[in-house]
């Protein structure tokens, strides 16, 4: 597994007041297309926060179903990459957060079912939608979208970094 660590403030583990774990997935179909979500004019991969007493795999299954309507029931898969970020005074002063995001690849022919999703209010209000992008167009689509709407949360920058790792290690 490839690890990418960001720690601009040189925080130590004992400086951390909160740890957040997330999962994200590259859902790829037989046409070599990546399934992506879009909300508030930002693309993102299906995935989300690990809830209390939930494993990474449980989170992966839950989040895929919540955001795409696809029910997979995966029970044994390893991430191909992990980003670990250390953030000082975030989300507020005197709170230092460590965010671990685990990235997986799943190849499936199951189709999204927007009627079987469980979207958050923010996703609904942000005109949430799902679409496939050919792998050879992913970087172009992400960059064009960020140029048009901005990258206010740094999601596009992060996804491009992970997509380039994915291309290097996973695309044969």
Quote the domain boundaries for residue 110: 2-169
pLDDT (mean) for 160-170: 91
109: tokens are: 């022919």
How far apart are alpha carbons 24 and 64 in whole angstroms? 9
Give the per-residue pLDDT at 35.
Answer: 97
Percent of the chain clearing pLDDT 70 (strictly above)? 99
Mean pLDDT for the stretch of residues 88-108: 95
Nearest to 47 by CA among 22, 72, 82: 22
pLDDT tens digits, residue range 106-161?
999 999 998 899 888 888 898 899 999 999 999 999 999 999 999 988 889 999 99
Q: What residues have CB less than 8 Å from 98, skipping those under 6 apart?
A: 11, 13, 16, 18, 19, 20, 84, 85, 86, 87
For residue 150, give the 3-state DSSP assignment. Answer: coil
If one counts the domains in the chain, the total is 1
Tens of pLDDT, residue by residue over 64-85, are 999 999 999 899 999 999 999 9
User: Which domain CATH number covers 20?
Assistant: 3.90.79.10
pLDDT value, residue 154:
87
Average pLDDT of 49-56? 96
């Amino acid at each position: 597994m490839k690890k990418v660590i960001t720690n601009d403030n040189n925080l130590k583990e004992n400086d951390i007041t909160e740890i957040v774990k997330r999962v994200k997935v590259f859902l790829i179909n037989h046409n070599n297309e990546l399934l992506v979500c879009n909300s508030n004019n930002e693309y993102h991969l299906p995935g989300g926060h690990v809830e209390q007493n939930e494993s990474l795999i449980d989170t992966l299954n839950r989040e895929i179903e919540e955001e795409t309507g696809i029910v997979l029931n995966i029970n044994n898969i390893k991430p191909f990459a992990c980003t670990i970020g250390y953030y000082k005074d975030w989300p507020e002063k005197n709170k230092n957060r460590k965010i671990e995001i685990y990235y997986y690849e799943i190849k499936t022919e199951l189709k999204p079912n927007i009627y079987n999703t469980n979207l958050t209010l923010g996703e609904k209000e942000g005109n949430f939608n799902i679409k496939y992008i050919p792998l050879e167009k992913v970087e172009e689509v992400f960059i064009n979208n960020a140029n048009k709407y901005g990258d206010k949360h740094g999601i596009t920058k992060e996804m491009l970094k992970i997509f380039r790792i994915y291309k290097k290690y996973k695309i044969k």
